[in-house]
């Protein structure tokens, strides 16, 4: 599987930018990685204007997205979010990742008016949402379902993001069938990660995780009514290996994925690092859009010490890992939060979400 030989520097133009309209979140999910979610630090208009200057140019030339992420982006309020959206041209695809608890008719009208694509965070059937609680520790599921009902009432299609905290066989079919019924168009499955302020262990038995993914593939193949992000990607890769085109699956360069924090500071490559500081690496940011245009920040990425260390880690992965052609060297934040540095290779995250995912697809193929 190693095969992949392309160089993996950092692309000069990202395919999307993540914006943090507020650090605040109205929930207190127990697995959340965000460090400042009880503080309402709001993005100012000059930050959005500075980002829009670059993004509008990129969007005039190619498909380009802005993803409003938080905190909980709706917690900032419609008026504030509208003011931050205003500098962006209509060419820009606007997305919002939300816990859905605040969605009502007024928000649905807002999404329609601003042509926003909505992705909701929900972990499957009610009993699997025990980690998704209010700040007072009460269940949030009923509020999430009210939000989803509002989306359906207004005919707004949505994606879903599901965190799985205990990947075992027997669970995947239940989860997939739940989302089929929920009516989402696209589903992403994240195995819980040890990241940020969530320091819970994420080492699971190999056979459980492989079995979980294999079962998910089987459930999807019985009724592929949803775009299932991880499974479709794995099947594309497996197909490319069989066709001898695996080298063309991964992009040649890493997407810089700029995350613009409320104050204009920019963290590249890994949104989960935004808001953290470390004695060795500082605040992980590569600049601030209030002082430096975004393209310049991206062009100077390797001036940031941790990014150089990360790129060395990617090369170590390339030299040592049979899954590199599929994975491409995985996420910087997972390396940092699991190893305390960026140039290590194998993490529990990559075991769960790369190696065992691919093994699950192969297990399914062997049994099919
Ligand atoms: S991050 Fe993990 S799966 Fe990905 S290439 Fe590196 S060692 Fe392999």
Q: Ligand 1: which of 234, 324, 337, 344 to mutate, judged by most atoms within 8 Å of the beta carbon?
A: 324
Give me ligand 1 centre to Cα 76, in Å.
37
CA of 122 to the centre of ligand 1 (A): 27
Given the DSSP bridges, would you call strands 93-98 and 259-260 parallel, antiparallel or unpaired?
Answer: unpaired
Tell which wins on pLDDT, 366 or 45: 45
CA distances from 279 to 34, 123, 328, 347 (A): 19, 35, 28, 22
Q: Which helix (H) or strand (E) holds 139?
A: none
Given a contact cutoff of 8 angstroms between Cβ atoms, the answer to whether 15 and 66 are in contact is no
Q: Which of 345, 352, 359 has most ligand 1 atoms within 8 Å of CB, for mutation? A: 345
DSSP string, 22-64: BS--SB--TT---SSTTS--BPPHHHHHHHHHHHHHHHHHS--
pLDDT at residue number 133: 76
Q: Tokens 């109205």 map to which residue? A: 26
Three-state SS string across 305-355, please?
Answer: HHHHHHHHHHHHHHHHCCCHHHHCCCCHHHHHHHHCCCCCCCCHHHHHHHH
Instruction: Kindly give the interhelix angle for 141-153 and 105-113, rounded to the nearest 10 degrees.
Output: 50
Lookup: tokens for 202: 């994420």
Nearest to 27, CA basis, from 121, 132, 156, 113: 132
CA 181/CA 168 separation, integer angstroms? 21
pLDDT tens digit sequence for 245-263: 877 777 778 999 999 999 9
Q: Look up residue 257 and give its DSSP letter.
A: -
3-state SS record for 181-233: HHCCCEEEEEECCCECCECCCCCCCHHHHHHHHHHHHHHHHHCCCCEEHHHHH
pLDDT digit string, tens, across residues 67-97? 999 789 999 999 999 999 999 999 999 999 9
Which pTM does this prediction carry? 0.90
CA 135, CA 130: separation in Å to the nearest integer? 13
- Any idea which residue has 């600049």 for tokens? 287
Show me where the domains of the chain are located. 16-301
Ligand 1 site-directed mutation target among 246, 329, 334, 348, most atoms within 8 Å of CB:
329
Residues near 51 by Cβ (< 8 Å), separated by ≥ 6?
17, 19, 66, 87, 260, 289, 294
Q: Using one digit for the tens of pLDDT, what is the confidence trace for 147-165? A: 999 999 999 999 999 999 8
Judge whether residue 45 has pLDDT over 90. Answer: yes
Q: Respond yes or no on whether the N-terminal peptide bond of residue 71 is cis (omega within 30° of 0).
A: yes
Given the candidates 3.40.50.620, 3.20.20.70, 1.20.1250.20, 3.40.50.10330, the CATH classification of the domain at 16-301 is: 3.20.20.70
pLDDT band at 199 (very low <50, low <70, confident <90, very high): low
Could you report the per-residue pLDDT of 267-303, keeping only the tens digit for each? 999 988 988 889 999 999 999 999 999 999 999 999 9
């Amino acid at each position: 599987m190693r095969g992949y030989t392309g160089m993996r520097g950092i692309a000069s133009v990202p395919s999307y930018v993540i914006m943090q309209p507020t650090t605040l979140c109205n929930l207190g999910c127990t697995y959340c990685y965000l460090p400042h979610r009880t503080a309402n630090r709001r993005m100012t208009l000059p930050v959005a204007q500075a980002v829009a200057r670059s993004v509008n140019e990129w969007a005039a030339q190619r498909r380009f997205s802005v993803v409003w992420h938080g905190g909980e982006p709706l917690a900032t309020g419609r008026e504030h979010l509208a003011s931050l959206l205003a500098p962006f041209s209509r060419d820009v695809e606007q997305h919002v990742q939300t816990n859905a608890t605040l969605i009502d008719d007024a928000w649905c009208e807002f999404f329609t008016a601003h042509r926003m694509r909505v992705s909701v965070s929900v972990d499957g059937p009610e009993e699997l949402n025990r980690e998704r609680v209010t700040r007072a520790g009460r269940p949030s599921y009923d509020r999430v379902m009210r939000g989803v009902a509002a989306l359906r009432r207004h005919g707004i299609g949505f994606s879903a993001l599901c965190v799985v905290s205990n990947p075992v066989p027997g669970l995947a079919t239940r989860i997939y069938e739940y989302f089929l019924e929920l009516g989402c168009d696209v589903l992403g499955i994240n195995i819980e990660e040890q990241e940020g302020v969530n320091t819970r262990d994420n080492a699971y038995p190999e056979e459980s995780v492989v079995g979980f993914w294999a079962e998910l593939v089987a459930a999807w193949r019985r009724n592929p009514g949803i775009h299932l992000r991880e499974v479709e990607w794995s099947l594309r890769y497996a197909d490319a290996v069989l066709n001898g085109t695996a080298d063309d699956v991964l992009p040649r360069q890493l997407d810089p994925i700029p995350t613009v924090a409320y104050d204009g500071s920019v963290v590249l490559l890994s949104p989960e690092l935004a808001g953290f500081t470390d004695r060795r690496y500082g605040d992980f940011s590569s600049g601030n859009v209030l002082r430096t245009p975004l393209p310049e920040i991206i062009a100077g990425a390797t001036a940031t010490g941790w990014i150089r260390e990360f790129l060395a880690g990617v090369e170590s992965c390339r030299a040592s890992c049979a899954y590199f052609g599929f994975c491409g060297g995985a996420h910087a934040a997972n390396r940092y939060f699991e190893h305390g540095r960026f140039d290590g290779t194998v993490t529990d995250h990559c075991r769960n979400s790369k190696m065992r995912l691919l093994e699950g697809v192969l297990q399914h193929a062997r049994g099919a």
